[in-house]
Homo-oligomer: A and B are copies of this chain.
Amino acid sequence: MSSLQHVNPTVKGIRESAHSGLQSLAAHVTQEIAQGMQKPFKGVIDISSGDPHKAGMKPISFVRQVLAVCLHPELLENKTLPLDVRLRAQRLLEVCDGGSVGSYTDSSGMPHVRQSIAEFIMRRDVGVHSHAKDVFISAGSQRGLMVILKLLASGEGDTQTGVLTPRPCPHTLPTLLDDAGVALVPYQLMEDRGWAVDLSELHRALKCDRGGCNPRAIYISNPGTPTGHVQDWKSIEEVIRFAAAERLLLLVDEVYQDSVYGQGKEFISFKRVLFEMGKEYSGTVQMVSLHSLSSACMGECGLRAGYMELVNMDPEVMHFVDTMLCTDISSPVTGQIALVLMVNPPRPGDPSYDTYTQEILLIQATLSQNAQRAHEFLNDLPGMSSQPAKGGIYLYPRLHLPSEIIEKAKKLEVEACVLYCQMLLKEEGVFLGAGCQNGETTGNHYLRLCILVPADTLEEVLARLASFHLRLMDTCPYPDRGVKGRDIRDTL
């Protein structure tokens, strides 16, 4: 440990993400404000990643009330709390060892929680069977994914395990793949088709990289992070056929399944489609589906819980999933309990039902209105174009930057989108995600905005962003769209 050269080479190989540099800058700016430095803004607004409560979204009261009672069971006697809250807490405490959330659970999660999740999946998938034994709980969906990636990892060079990964993908994914020692094999999503998955591109990516490594899985994010794309039945079927033909494990990130708002769109799970494709597929295609407590409506990122359902996995391989989760000993019990409440919320007639329903509807309405509002606003800015989001919690607009900025970025040896985000942070105190994927240069530049924020926060962000962006475009006028820029500025 005495010097860097002795650090595990896999760990040393983990690429630094552009995001962590921007995070440091945001912390620095925040500190300057705390120290009294004058800035043209009050504070940094961070919508670079999905952290709804941080951005001001409210937790679901039912979830928090039940958790409070579970932690401090004397509240079972507190009559100001709804009866169903107290009954639920009592039931949950009964399934905790020793009646305490302070006890360890099975490494794969409490049987009651796994069973509740399996029942939720069956309701969601209109009766397709789900078994508690195939549901594994972990401290966040990313932790579950890491376990699967580590199981897959093997080989070096030509034989190194590869994972087909969308471009763009969730910004935390490349680091995870690096950490697991797995190669990233990129496939491009189709921006002009609202970031759809394209079958011929999957074939191209696979052919192109076979030889460079050994692709054994394909990662799909649906609804798409950060694209906002929502796959339809046909597209899902195509991906499944592809995975079946190429013998790839399907790693399906369905974390934002609770937030599809595009007109005529609905969430369809990969599992449901798989099981309607007949035994040839439903009996053979291996799949891991991920869901999380950090989903849009719950937004309970800090409680750390997620689950994965394994489909068609070898029992012997499942055994190793269990073994690997054992090294965490168990997942946080407060998170596990919140998972049960997520998949099994109050029902009509329950005292908490109306409040719960109103809170969920408010979150969903905020999200869908924000998606619409931000999309239109950004598209009206010169030098910016945004595909509409149909689901999920992000927009991923494209920047058409003046060549001066691109030249400046080259000189500074940063990606142009990173430079843009740095300047925006310093000048307006708005922290957006830089759209560049780790180390990948496509020549295009993007931003990532989380839109699951209170409406007034979004307005503040858009105003600051426009102010900065128009200044930038004015200083370095963009050849094609400069006029539009001035138009917009006049209306602000």
Residues in A lying within 8 Å of B, measured CB to CB? 1-4, 6-9, 11-12, 14, 16, 20, 51-57, 59, 61, 64-65, 67-69, 71-72, 75, 78, 96-98, 100-105, 139-140, 142-143, 146, 150-154, 172, 175-176, 179, 216-217, 247, 249, 286, 299-304, 313-314, 316-317, 320, 323-324, 326-335
Query: Which one of B142, B286, B332 contacts A139 once the chains associate, using CB atoms below 8 Å?
Result: B332
Q: Please, which residues of chain B bring their CB within 8 A of the CB of A330?
A: 301-302, 304
Contact (Cβ within 8 A) B299 A102: yes
When the two chains form the complex, which single residue of B64, B96, B143, B326 contacts A302, counting CB atoms closer than 8 Å? B96
Bound-state Cα–Cα, A331 to B96, Å = 21
Contact status B314-A332, CB under 8 Å: no
Q: Pick the contact of A11: B68, B151, B300 (CB < 8 A).
A: B151
Given A103-B302, A335-B332, is A4 in contact with B317 using a C-beta cutoff of 8 Å? yes
Q: Which of A102, A286, A331 has the most B CB atoms < 10 Å from its CB? A: A102
Check B14 against A323 for contact (C-beta < 8 Å).
Answer: yes
Asked if B53 contacts A151 (CB within 8 A), the reply is no
Q: How far is the CB of A299 from chain B (nearest CB, A)?
A: 6
Distance (whole angstroms) from the CB of A92 to the closest CB of chain B: 12
| 24 A-B pairs whose Cβ atoms sit less than 8 Å apart in the complex | A1-B152, A1-B317, A2-B314, A7-B151, A8-B150, A51-B103, A51-B104, A53-B97, A53-B98, A57-B98, A59-B102, A67-B72, A68-B68, A78-B78, A104-B301, A143-B328, A175-B327, A301-B330, A302-B332, A302-B334, A303-B332, A304-B331, A304-B332, A332-B332
**Nearest chain B CB to A382 CB, angstrom units:** 33
Evaluate contact between A302 and B104: CB separation under 8 angstroms: yes
What distance in Å separates the Cβ of A431 from its nearest Cβ neighbour in chain B? 12
Cβ of A194 to closest chain B Cβ, rounded Å: 28
Given contacts A51-B104, A303-B332, A332-B334, list 13 more A-B pairs with CB under 8 A: A2-B247, A11-B151, A11-B324, A12-B320, A51-B103, A68-B71, A100-B302, A139-B139, A142-B327, A172-B326, A175-B327, A301-B329, A302-B332
In the complex, are the beta carbons of B175 and A326 less than 8 A apart?
yes
Query: Can you tell how many copies of this chain the complex includes?
Result: 2
Chain B CB within 10 Å — which of A3, A53, A54, A327 has the most?
A: A327
Q: Which residues of chain B have C-beta atoms less than 8 A from A100's C-beta?
A: 53-54, 59, 302
